[in-house]
Structure 1
Amino acid sequence: MARKSKTPRWLEAARRRGADAPVGGRADWLARALGRAGVMPRTQAEAAIRAGRVEVDGQVEVEPFAPVGPGRVVRVDGRECSLDTRLWVLMFHKPAGPVVHGSDPEGVGTVFERLRAVLPESLSGYEWYAVGRLDRDTTGLLLFTNDERFVRHGTAPETHLTKRYVARVEGRPDEAALQRLREGVELEDGLTRPAEARLREPEVVELTLTEGRHHQVKRMLAAVGHPVVALHRAAVGRVVLDVPEGTFRALRDGEISEGLGFRVEPQDVP
């Protein structure tokens, strides 16, 4: 099997065209830069570019992966658009039902559709990335961002960002089951890291993890004899879910840096 190229698509496009890659600042490709800056979501930006509605430095640009960098003048439908960007991280309270994918073959809907339905106009032009995943039937805290750097930070195993879950389970876990969770459980993909585990009610376990394997909470609890009936994510890092189901709020810079351990740079704030 051929190895997937790690060359950015905007750079591949620049090489095909014989163009120079942007020098200095954060190089990007046009459609993504428009989404990151809140001009329009990436799919809309790609369509606008291919339709000839976007100019770069006075020339119509029809390549969504055209490289752009600092100093370029970009216009959409004749109106100049700033590509200056700031970091946004949103807390969203995911309900049960929608999936964390771009589409849902079962027709229930996606978290992206649910989020966009409640966004104000000032945030509707951004491209939003989900930071990690929650299962269709899992509720609770799901983070969104307009910046892929934060996605990498929030999902990288080496970050060890804690995630706190509350699970209603079958049966009544005893101290021995909780101790197994604390020490690590042997799963088909290896031993889990030690976790914090405690009973909140006789059939409700609070479990805090520092890793994010596929269906990990459900598999860990099933492995100690207590399959999950309902699962809710209550916190990520030191950021605790505090908005009603189906709604969102933007995180403050201190919550991003101190609560989630992500360094906010000067260019990330307005």
Structure 2
Amino acid sequence: MTRKQRTPRWLEAARLRGAGTPEGERADWLSRALGRAGVMPRAEAERAILEGRVELNGHITREPFAPVGPDARVRVDGEPQRLQAPTRAVMLHKPGGLVVHGSDPEGVGTVFEHLTARLSPALRGFEWLAVGRLDRDTTGLLLFTNDERLVRHATAPQTHLPKRYVARVAGRPGDAAMGRLRDGVVLDDGLTRPAQARLREPDVVELVLTEGRHHQVKRMLAAVGHPVVSLHREAVGDVVLDVAEGAWRALREDEVAQGLRFAAAP
């Protein structure tokens, strides 16, 4: 059955107000544009708009989903704000226990709360999007960006951006199990792409995948008879985790462009 495409909220709001809709890759709605540009996170921007503190093209607006284009004139509390911002990205060494969600019903915490509490003041105004996900118990490299295009690029199946994982497993995988991982494993959602696989220790497997299915590493290793005991991600593309657990750092422009193979618009 084909799922009906849902109309974005900003587009619904624009249609109801009879407003024109912006065109182009950088078209956006007001609250998200403020977050992407680093003026203030989206939730704060929505409150400021509803409180009447934001002007759009010379008029106060109370519509967080008001459509904006790259030439929109925006003021917050009377101060002009630029909506153009370069693509930013940061890495976090995710500790175990944190979830990649907006809230954690178990109360341990989210990666967004963890990251925001540690960011430098210059970066706290951005709305940070997680580039993919890691399970609660998985540690390692997690990327964040202010640009949803980078999220789509890094997670799209057709990009084939390699991701390197290290898994401690039950038992000791032999040549047959390692060969199956390299050739591709049949899962309930089809045959996986061939992976790079090698043993680092008798019970530690390094896997490099070029696709990102749900729980893929865990399912592949379980399928060859060696369930995951612990899982860690070391690299995405050519960006390699190089900070201590719980720590973060900003990525350089060349790491985004060459390391993640992402060509950001000027």
TM-score range (shorter-chain normalised) is over 0.9
Choose 114-123 or 253-262, whichever is displaced more: 253-262
CA deviations on 1:188-229 (whole Å, 9 max, x unpaired) are: 111111101000011110011111111111111111111111
Secondary structure of the residue aligned to 2:213 is coil
Residue 196 (structure 1) aligns with: 196
Root-mean-square deviation (CA, aligned residues, Å) is 1.6
CA deviations on 1:95-123 (whole Å, 9 max, x unpaired) are: 00000001000000000001101101100
> In the TM superposition, what are the counterparts of 1:169-208 in structure 2 within 5 Å?
169-208=169-208
Residue 214 (structure 1) aligns with: 214
Residue 135 (structure 1) aligns with: 135
Shift of 1:256: 1.1
Aligned partners of 2:25, 2:168: CA distance in 1, in Å?
Answer: 48
Contact kept, 8 Å, 1:138 with 1:230, in 2: the verdict is: yes
How many residue pairs get matched?
266
Shift of 1:238: 1.0
Aligned partners of 2:126, 2:142: CA distance in 1, in Å?
Answer: 17
Residue 64 (structure 1) aligns with: 64
Q: Structure 1 residues 41 and 177 mapped into 2: Cα distance closer, same or farther (>3 Å)? A: same
Shift of 1:16: 1.2
TM-score (norm 1): 0.94
Name structure 2 gaps, 5 residues minimum.
none
Residue 228 (structure 2) aligns with: 228
Aligned partners of 1:225, 1:132: CA distance in 2, in Å?
Answer: 26
Contact kept, 8 Å, 1:253 with 1:264, in 2: the verdict is: no
TM-score (norm 2): 0.96
Secondary structure of the residue aligned to 2:117 is helix
Shift of 1:3: 4.8
Letter in 2 for 1:53: R
Letter in 1 for 2:258: E
Letter in 1 for 2:126: Y
Letter in 1 for 2:250: A
Secondary structure of the residue aligned to 1:197 is strand
Shift of 1:42: 0.5
Aligned partners of 1:249, 1:137: CA distance in 2, in Å?
Answer: 22
Aligned partners of 2:23, 2:217: CA distance in 1, in Å?
Answer: 45
Letter in 2 for 1:221: L
Letter in 2 for 1:42: R
Choose 234-243 or 16-25, whichever is displaced more: 16-25
CA deviations on 1:133-155 (whole Å, 9 max, x unpaired) are: 00000000001000000010011
Q: Structure 1 residues 179 and 23 mapped into 2: Cα distance closer, same or farther (>3 Å)? A: closer
Percent identical pairs in the alignment equals 71
Q: Structure 1 residues 50 and 3 mapped into 2: Cα distance closer, same or farther (>3 Å)? A: farther
Choose 248-257 or 91-100, whichever is displaced more: 248-257
Q: Structure 1 residues 116 and 170 mapped into 2: Cα distance closer, same or farther (>3 Å)? A: same
Residue 162 (structure 1) aligns with: 162
Residue 256 (structure 2) aligns with: 256
Secondary structure of the residue aligned to 1:154 is helix
Secondary structure of the residue aligned to 1:44 is helix
Shift of 1:11: 2.8
Secondary structure of the residue aligned to 2:225 is coil
Contact kept, 8 Å, 1:24 with 1:70, in 2: the verdict is: no
Letter in 2 for 1:152: R
Aligned partners of 1:208, 1:123: CA distance in 2, in Å?
Answer: 31
Q: Structure 1 residues 24 and 204 mapped into 2: Cα distance closer, same or farther (>3 Å)? A: closer
Aligned partners of 1:48, 1:54: CA distance in 2, in Å?
Answer: 7
Residue 80 (structure 1) aligns with: 80
Letter in 2 for 1:193: R
Shift of 1:4: 4.0
Shift of 1:58: 2.4
CA deviations on 1:142-195 (whole Å, 9 max, x unpaired) are: 010000000100110000111100001111111111001001111111111110
